[in-house]
Amino acid sequence: MKIKNIVLAVFLIAAMNLITFCQTTNTKSVEKTVLIETTLGSIKVKLYNETPQHRDNFLKLAEEGFYDSLLFHRVIKDFMVQAGDPATRNPQPNQRYGSGGPSYTIPAEVNPAQLIHKKGALSAARTGDQVNPERRSSGSQFYIVQGRVANDAELTQTELNISQQPLQSMFSQMLAKEIQNRQAQGLTINQDSLVSDVRQKLLAQWESMEKFAYTPEQREVYKTIGGTPFLDGAYTVFGEVVEGLDVVDKIADVETQPGDRPTSDVFIVKMTVE
């Protein structure tokens, strides 16, 4: 009898632990939402768990009030609306903004296979590839996609562009290796011939490389809802609008001056983590 009671107790404890584990797991998998109150209305975004570093950074800044009273300093109709430059808290007339941020950047969490720049996508701004080859994101600046509807030809070209993105770094690495090999052998280096040889080797590798392709569902989203597919694979998408797409449209429709700043300032009044 005592043995049966012990066995029953063990099973009960195991069951309780399993329930607790499942509850904890489910809690962790819930996507956090943030309410962005602006002078033109409210936008609610959910943050993806697939991009944890960007998610946690955005939540931290929102909770600290970092974004409160900042401008949407860059607005381009049919493209995106951008905010998050702390220098815009007390904006000066006709001043261009967009270079401000905290004293850090965030490692890229680019994932075009799952997270695309559809309309309403919340993405991290960053400096260009020439000065930022690792494509690290700004510590605070973000943009929300408005975009436009795409067609199959545009999407096919984007797939090719994304597939070809690794080729430049591969070319540089292969070229440097070939130069080292020929120098080690005491061979004369003919630049044109060397570049041609490396290109041929790269083309051979390209034929066997796995190519990027949108899913049928992603294509349908771009062809019906729209977005900015040409940004896929280059910038980190870390969330999306779940309420207030009409407000994004309102912001994108405002009149702007040279430099894409609205002529009448549009502010983030407050962000609230929900």
* 32 vs 207: CA distance, rounded Å: 42
pLDDT at 8 over 90: no
Helical ranges in 111-255 per DSSP H: 152-184, 191-208, 216-224, 245-252
pLDDT tens column, 57-93 = 999 999 999 999 999 999 999 999 999 999 999 999 9
Mean pLDDT value across the chain: 90
Task: Report domain extents, the chain.
Answer: 33-149+225-273, 153-208
What order do you get walking across the sheet with 121-124 strand by strand?
72-76, 80-83, 142-145, 121-124, 237-243, 41-47, 33-38, 268-273
pLDDT tens column, 41-59 = 999 999 999 999 999 999 9
What value does the mean pLDDT take over residues 120-143? 97
pTM: 0.82
Place of tokens 């070209």: 157
pLDDT of the residue at 166: 81
CATH (one of 2.40.100.10, 3.40.50.10490, 2.40.110.10, 3.30.70.3000) for 33-149+225-273: 2.40.100.10
151 or 166, greater pLDDT = 151
User: Which is nearest to 138 in space by CA: 76, 69, 90, 66?
Assistant: 66
The phi and psi torsions of 153 (rounded to 5 degrees) equal: -65, -40
pLDDT of the residue at 26: 44
State the helix-helix crossing angle for 216-224 and 152-184, rounded to 10 degrees: 120
Q: Give the single-character DSSP code of 95.
A: -
* 2 vs 210: CA distance, rounded Å: 62
